[in-house]
A and B are shown apart, each in its own frame.
Chain A
Amino acid sequence: MALVVFFIMGIALWHFTVFVPDRFWQGIVGAFLGAVLGSIIFGLIVQEASGKSLGDTDVSTALIAVPGVLIGLAIVYAIGIRSERQLD
C-alpha cells in the first residue's frame, strides 16, 4: 500500500508542474517520470530506513513522498537545462 501512496503522491504533485516553465528533460512526460520515480525511490528508502513494512502506512507515508517528488523533478529539470545549453 505504501507503494501506491508514493505513486499517487508523485502523480498528484506532478500535476502542479504546469505552473513551472517547461524546461524539463522530455517536457511534461519527463517531469512525470521524475516525479513518480523520485517519490517511489525516496519513499522506499525512508520507509526501509524507518523499519516500516510496505503495508504499514499513515499520514507520514504520504508526506515522505513530497521531498522525493521535489528531488525527482529537480533532477529532470537540471538535465533539461543542461540539454538546452548543449543545444545552444
Chain B
Amino acid sequence: MGTRRRHLFVLLFVLGLVVVSGIVIASKETKLGLDLQGGLELVYQGQPTKAGESVSGEDIDQSISIIEQRINKLGVAEPEVARLGENELTVSLPGITDAERAAEQVGTTAQLYFYDWEPNLIGIQRAVGGHPGQTPPKEALSKLEETWKESGRPIEAFAEQLIGAGAFPNAYQAALLASEQKPVENCKTCSVARPRFYLFERASPHKLIDGPEFKKKDLYVSPSGEKRPKNGIVIEVPTGVVLVSEYPLNGETGNYEEEVEPGWYALKDEPALNGNEITEPKQTYEPTTNQPVVSFGFTGEGREAFSTVTRQIAQRGQASALGPANAQEAQALSGHFAVVLDNEVKSRPIINFAENPDGIDGRNGAQIAGLGNLNEAQELATTLQIGALPINLKLISESQVSATLGSQALHDGIKAGIIGLALVVIFLLLYYRFLGLIASIALGAYGVIFFALIKLIPITLTLPGIAGLVLTIGVAADSNIVIFERIKEEVRAGRSMSSAISAGYKRGISTIVDANVVTLLTAFILFVLATAGVKGFAFTLGVGTIVSLLTAVVFTQALLGSMSRSRILRSPGVLGASGPGRRWHFDFMGASRWFFSLSGVILLIGGFALATKQLNFGIDFESGTRMTAALQKTTNEEGVREALSSVGINGEEVQQVSDPNFGDNVFQIQSHELEPGEVKTAQNELSSQFGIVENGFESTSVGPTFGQQVADSALKALIFSLLVICGYVALRFDPKFAVPVLIAIFHDILITAGVYSLTGKEVSSGTVAAFLTILGYSIYDTIIVFDRIRENVPRMPRAAFSQIVNRSMSEVLTRSLATSFSTLLAVTSLLIFGGATLQDFAFAMLVGIASGTYSSIFIASPVLTAWKEREPGFVRRRLRIAEVEGGRVPAYADEIEMAKLGRDEEREAEPSAAAEEPAVEATASAVATVERTDDSGNGADPRTNGDGDAVSAERRKRNEERRARRKARRKHGRR
C-alpha cells in the first residue's frame, strides 16, 4: 500500500470511528459514579468466622453474590458490588439516603431456615394444606377460595395449586392471621425474636408496601428516602410467627413460576434447623439418574436435628397411610420439609416414608432432588450457601453523597474539562499555528472517541475519573508537541516538508512510546493496587493514553502526510518554523550546582516543616467521620457543636463553609469514626434543630482498618511504580540512566511532601493517587531529555558527556517546557474550576508537574552527567579536550561540526574544539563538570563574547592543522 493510500485509509478509519463514536454518545447513557449522582457506598472487610482461618477469594466472590441478591430486594437501580483488594468488597447504592438501614440490610447474612412444613401451618391453612394426600374440609377450602376471590386473583391452575397447599392470595391476609396469634415471649428457637411490622395499602386488595421492619417508623420512608403513604394499614406480626411467600411450581419445567404472584403463609416460627447447621452445599448430579441435585453436609447438631425432623415427617406420613403404601402412594401422603430463605420458600421437597421410613440420616449429608433443571439446582445451591456464609462482613467505610452535591461536582468537572481543553487548543494554535490546528482537530477526535469508549465499556465516571480525563488531554497534546518540535527541527535543517514530516514522526515516535509506556505502567499499578475511587482515575488515564496514541500520532501523521505537498505547507512560517528558531545556549551543567543548592534549601525547609508541622492526613488515612450539612435556619459553628453534643457526639471539629448550591449556611463536621446509627442520629438532630435543606446532607466514615489499607496500598503503589519505572528506563536506555530518574523521583516526592506540610493542605487517598500518576507523567520530561542524550552520544563520539547533555538540553528544552505548559494549562483549569474534590487532585498534580519538570532538567541530567563522566571513556575525552583547550572544557562542542555530523549521519566526529564557545575548566567537582571562565553565564549566546575572538582564531587554526594531519593519515590508509 502506498503512503498516500495508507494516509487516506487512516483518515477514513478515524473519521469512521468519530462517526460511530458520535452515534454511541448520542444513544448510550453515561454511567455516573456515586460521587456524581449521589448515593451510598459501603466498604466491607471479610473476616473469618473462626480464629485461625483465613478469608479466601472464593469467600469474597460468594459474598458478592449474596449481597447482590439482598440488594435486589432493596429495589435500588444499578447497584454495584465489587471486590476490592484481597478481602474487601465495595457496595455502591445509587439514590440510597438512609445509610443505617441500607448498611443493616446489606451487611446482614441471609436468613436461611428449614421447617417441618405441615405442623407449622396455622388455622385455615393447616386445615386445607396440613394433611397431604387427604381431601381438605369443604368449609375451610371454600373459605380460603373466598379470600382469593375477594383479593381479585383469578383461580386458575397456579392459584389452585397454591390454594391446595393452604396459601393466602396476598400478604395482607396472611398478616391478619398472624396478628391474631399469641406472641411467644422470650422465644429462643424462633428465627426472629422480635415482633415485626408490615405496611399495606388502605384500599383493597391491600397491596404490601413495606415490611418486615422492626421499627414502625421505618415503614414510612424507604432506604432511598422515598416517602410512603401515612394512611396505610400497619399490621404487627408477633414473635413466634413468620410470614413466608411461595411461588407456584410450573409442572412442565419443575421450576418455581416467579412471573406469577406468590401465595402467602403465616407459619409458626419453629424452624427445625438453620443455615449455620449445614455445610458445603453444592450442586451435583444424582449418579443413577444423572439429574441435577443439591447436596450438602451437616454440622454435628445439624445432623441430629435433620435426622429427627425427617424421621418425624416420615412417621407422620406413615401414620396417615391406612396400610402399606408403594412409593407412588407414599409420595402423595408424605409431608414436606421446607427450605426458607429471607421469608421466601426456596424448596419444599417431600420426605418419602416408603423410601426413608426412619427419616434421613444426615451422616452422609443430604440432597435435594426433583429439581427442574441445572439452573435451578445451581441457584438453590447458591441459596443454601447464603445461609452458611463462611465469613463475617465488617463495615469499614461508609460514604453518603448528596445527589445535589454530586450533580454540582459533575457540573464543575465538565466545566473544568472544557476550559482545560480550550486553553490547550488556544496554546497549540498560538504556538504551532497550522500544526496547532492539526493538533486541535486530533484533540477533538480524541475527545469524541474517548467519551464514546467511556459510554461503551462502560467506565463508571467518577470525580477522580474526570481528573484522569483532563490529564489525558495534556498527555494527548504532549505527544503532538514532541512530534511538532521534531518536524520544526527537520524543516529548519533544510529538509523538504514531506521529508520533515516523515522524519519528525519517525524520530518522535520512540520518545512518545517511552513516555506513554511509563504513564501506562503507573496507571496499571494504580488500578491494581489502589482503592475504588482511585481505580476509576487510573483506568480513565490508561484508556485515555492509549486513545491519545491513535489520535495524536497515527491520525495527525496521516492528516499532515496527506497535506504535505499542498500549498498550505509550502512555507515553514505556517508551522512556526521560520527563522533559526529558539536555541538555548545556557550552560545547564555548569549552572546545575546553583539549582542543586536551590533544591537543597527547599528540601531543608520541607524537612523542618515535616518535623514540626507534619502532614495533615485526611480521614482516608486517620479514620473518622466527616459530615456536610446544609442547614435551613441560620446558626454558627458553636450552635452546630452544641446540637451534636446534645446527642452525645462530642469532640468534633465544626467548620462553616460555603457552597454554590446551598449558600453560606453549610457546615462541615469532622469527628472520630461514627457508626451508621450515630450519623443518622446526628442528621436527625441537626434536622430537628435547624432543618436540613433537601439533598443537603453528606457523610463519610472511614474505619481504622480501611485507613491502614489505604496507606498500605499507597505505599505499595509507590514502591511498585518506582521499581517498574526504573526497570523500564534501565532496559530502554542504560542501567545508569535509571539511578538519576530514581533520585529525581525522590526529589519530587519530598518536595511535594514539604509543600503539603507547609501549606497544611489535607492529604487524601486521591492526593496520593494523583501524585503517583504525576510521577509517571513527569518522567515524560526526563525521558525526552534522556532520549535526546541517547541519540546524541553516538553522534558526538569525542565530546565530553557534559557537552552532550548541554547540547541535548538546548535542543529539547523548548519541547520540554511546552509539554509541561500544556499539561499545566489543563491542570490549572481543574484547580480553578474543578470544585473541592478535583482541586485536591489538581493541587497534587500542579506541584508534581512543576517539581517533575524542574528535577528532570536540573537534577536528573546533572546527576547522570556527573556519574557518566567518571567512566574511563569519558574521563579520557575530558582530558583530551582539556589538553587541546588549554586545561578547559567548553560548555558546548563545536556547533558547525555537529550540524555537519547530524546531516551526514557521520559516525566519526571532529575533535571538540568549540572554537566559538566559552571555555570551562576540567576541574573535579561532584556535579559541575564544566565551569565557565567568564562571568557572562546568564544564558546569553556565548558567541557574542568579543573577548574570545583572538583565542577562537588560534583554536580554529589548530583544528585546521589537525584535520589536515588526519586527511593525510587517511590518504596513506591509516585511521
Contact = CB atoms under 8 A, between A and B. Distances in A.
Contacts of A59: 608, 611-612
Nearest to B598: A15
A16 B746 CA distance: 16
Nearest to B605: A12
B610 A22 contact: no
Interface of B: 592-593, 596-597, 599-601, 603-604, 606-608, 610-612, 614-615, 739, 743, 746-747, 750, 753-754, 863, 866-867, 870, 924-928
A82 to B, nearest CB: 16
A24 interface: yes
Given A1-B614, A18-B592, A62-B608, A8 B927 contact: no
Interface size range on A against B: 20 to 34
A29 B737 CA distance: 12
Given A1-B610, A9-B607, A11-B603, A22 B866 contact: yes
A23 B924 contact: yes
Question: Main secondary structure on chain A at its contact with chain B?
Answer: helix
B927 A18 contact: yes
B926 A31 contact: yes
17 contacts: A1-B615, A4-B750, A8-B607, A8-B750, A9-B604, A11-B750, A12-B606, A18-B592, A18-B927, A21-B924, A21-B925, A22-B870, A22-B925, A32-B863, A58-B611, A62-B607, A65-B607
A28 interface: yes
Contact of A22 (B592, B612, B926): B926
B864 to A, nearest CB: 9
A7 B596 contact: no
B800 to A, nearest CB: 14
Given A21-B925, A22-B924, A28-B866, A16 B608 contact: no
A65 B750 CA distance: 15
A58 B731 CA distance: 42
A11 B870 contact: no
A16 B596 contact: yes
Given A27-B866, A29-B743, 16 more contacts: A1-B615, A5-B607, A9-B603, A11-B750, A12-B604, A12-B750, A13-B604, A15-B596, A15-B603, A17-B926, A18-B592, A18-B597, A18-B925, A19-B926, A26-B867, A26-B870
B599 A8 contact: no
B600 A12 contact: yes
Given A15-B599, A18-B593, A61 B611 contact: yes
Contacts of A27: 866-867, 870, 926
A8 B867 contact: no
Interface of A: 1, 4-5, 7-9, 11-24, 26-29, 31-32, 57-62, 65
B373 to A, nearest CB: 60
Contacts of B743: 29, 32
B611 A19 contact: no
Nearest to B750: A8
B611 A62 contact: yes
Given A18-B926, A18-B927, A12 B607 contact: yes
A57 B611 contact: yes
A83 to B, nearest CB: 11
Contacts of A21: 924-926
B610 A5 contact: yes
Nearest to A61: B611
Contact of A15 (B597, B606, B739): B597
A59 to B, nearest CB: 5
Nearest to A4: B610
A35 B743 CA distance: 13
Contacts of A18: 592-593, 596-597, 925-928
Contacts of A7: 746, 750
Contact of A29 (B603, B746, B863): B863
A20 to B, nearest CB: 6
B750 to A, nearest CB: 5
A8 B926 contact: no
A25 to B, nearest CB: 11
Contact of B612 (A15, A58, A65): A58
A4 B610 CA distance: 8
A17 B928 CA distance: 11
A62 to B, nearest CB: 4
Nearest to B754: A8
A13 B596 CA distance: 10
Contacts of B597: 15-16, 18-19
Given A18-B593, A18-B596, A27-B866, A11 B612 contact: no
Nearest to B923: A21
Contacts of B592: 18
B91 to A, nearest CB: 33
A20 B925 contact: yes
A8 B374 CA distance: 63
Given A28-B866, A29-B739, A59-B608, A8 B603 contact: yes
Contacts of A16: 596-597, 600
Contacts of B599: 12, 15
Nearest to B599: A15
A5 B611 contact: yes
B117 to A, nearest CB: 61
A58 B608 CA distance: 8
Nearest to B614: A1
A29 B928 contact: no
Q: Count chain A CB atoms within 10 A of each CB in B600, B607, B746, B870 and give the residue with the most.
A: B607
A11 B601 CA distance: 11
A34 B607 CA distance: 18
A76 B733 CA distance: 27
B308 to A, nearest CB: 59
Nearest to A24: B926
A14 B604 CA distance: 11
Contacts of A9: 603-604, 607
B600 A13 contact: yes
The 6 closest A-B pairs by CB, nearest first: A15-B600, A12-B603, A18-B927, A62-B611, A8-B607, A18-B593
A1 B615 CA distance: 9
A11 to B, nearest CB: 6
Contacts of B739: 29
Contacts of A5: 607, 610-611
A11 B925 CA distance: 18
B231 to A, nearest CB: 59
Given A18-B592, A18-B597, A11 B747 contact: yes
Contacts of B746: 7, 11
A29 to B, nearest CB: 5
A5 B600 CA distance: 14
Contacts of B606: 8, 12
B667 to A, nearest CB: 31
A14 to B, nearest CB: 8
A28 B612 CA distance: 30
A19 B743 CA distance: 18
Contacts of B754: 8
A65 B611 CA distance: 11
A4 B603 contact: no
Contacts of A60: 611
Nearest to B866: A28
A9 B867 CA distance: 22
A58 B612 CA distance: 5
Contacts of A14: 600
B134 to A, nearest CB: 76
A28 B861 CA distance: 12
Nearest to B604: A12
Nearest to B593: A18
